[in-house]
Amino acid sequence: MPPRFFYLDTPDLPLPARHRFPAAKYRLLRERIAAGRLIGRAALVPSPPARLADLHRAHTEAYVASVVGGTLSPEAQRRIGLPWSPTLARRSRATVGGSLAAAREALGFGVSGQLAGGTHHAHRDFGSGYCVFNDLAIAALTLLTDGSVRRVAILDCDVHQGDGNAAILNAEPAVFVVSVHSEKNFPFRKVASDLDIALPDGADDAVFLRAVEQALDAVSAFRPDIVLYLAGADPLAADTLGRLAVSAAGLAKRDETVFGRLRATGVPVAVVAGGGYAKPIELTVEVYARTYAVAASTHGL
Ligand SMILES: [Zn+2]
């Protein structure tokens, strides 16, 4: 039986006119993957909402309640960068549920993913940088708590440093967090991961791919039972929030390297989308789509 991949089936986020966040990208990605049959025999199913008990593994009860109940202060919403709405609350919860479900699916089938997620700027008691709840921190902590795994690696190749992952997971020796990112980019106050590989402005395919190999070497040395792979599309040269100069072919090579090496060593992998802000947004969607296609083809789906 092939694995399931997960998508958010809630409506696009309602945002004010000219808001910078490309809310339609997740829907466009799902349409692109379905139309092109890009994940082969794998099924595409809705992300389940996370349980409150799972959200509490990485976040304070007060913060979770303010998101779920719609009482986030204007300042807290500004820091997230998205206005609160019932849809935001539902999507944020499903983003966590989808990444956790994908991680469990990967443990059974070797590979899975969510066509969203990678909300690595969410901290224990506040959201930031378009991130509300930290999906991968919660997935890692949940799998460890229920005994599904003993060691988890988070391979974060989004162009922005994963400060929330680092802040939540720093004291957890069973989780290894590595971040390959743009040095001068958001977040401007970074939190140290287990391994941070910071790249200069304008880093090209060769520089970026060397960093990814280095990150993979560190992941292999940790001998994780699962890798949660944050495959951001925002290292792309055309990204408006990126600062790097990686090509679409370079990002495809990144994905072939990551999925190929993990498959060869028998390490399950769950992939999530991460950031992507190219103009037009179709450039980002194409990079994302390729990531899931490579995940599926590497595993013979
Ligand atoms: Zn990003």
What is the secondary structure of 257-285 as a DSSP string? HHHHHHHHTT--EEEE-----BSSHHHHH
**Ligand 1: centre distance to CA 147 (Å):** 31
Phi and psi at residue 5, in whole multiples of 5°? -110, 160
DSSP 47-90: PPPPPHHHHTTTS-HHHHHHHHTT---HHHHHHHTS---HHHHH
Contact between 139 and 113 (Cβ < 8 Å): no
The strand pairing partners of 154, in sequence order, are: 177, 228
Question: Which amino acid appears at position 261 of this protein?
Answer: R
Beta-carbon contacts of residue 4 (< 8 Å; ≥ 6 apart): 42, 43, 44, 45, 101, 105, 112
pTM over 0.85: yes
Q: What confidence score (pLDDT) does residue 1 get? A: 83
Q: What confidence score (pLDDT) does residue 163 get? A: 98
**Ligand 1: centre distance to CA 274 (Å):** 6
**Ligand 1: centre distance to CA 164 (Å):** 12
**Ligand 1: centre distance to CA 71 (Å):** 26
Task: Take residue 86 and report the two structure tokens written for it.
Answer: 């019932």
**Ligand 1: centre distance to CA 249 (Å):** 19
The strand pairing partners of 228, in sequence order, are: 154, 270
Task: Take residue 248 and report the two structure tokens written for it.
Answer: 């679409």
- Between the CA atoms of 138, 120, 104 and 2, what dihedral angle is there, to the nearest 10 degrees? 160
**Ligand 1: centre distance to CA 276 (Å):** 6
Closest CA to 142 of 112, 188, 174: 174
Question: Per residue in 16-66, pLDDT tens?
Answer: 989 999 999 999 999 999 999 999 999 999 999 999 999 999 999 999 999
**Ligand 1: centre distance to CA 182 (Å):** 10
Contact between 164 and 190 (Cβ < 8 Å): no
Identify the three-state secondary structure at position 216. helix
**Ligand 1: centre distance to CA 257 (Å):** 20
**Ligand 1: centre distance to CA 234 (Å):** 6
**Segments in the chain below pLDDT 50:** none
Beta-strand runs (E) in the chain:
4-7, 43-46, 111-113, 152-156, 175-182, 195-199, 226-230, 269-272
Q: In whole angstroms, how far apart are CA 204 and each of 18, 210, 230?
A: 30, 10, 19
The strand pairing partners of 229, in sequence order, are: 155, 271
Question: Per residue in 161-174, pLDDT tens?
Answer: 999 999 999 999 99
**Ligand 1: centre distance to CA 131 (Å):** 10
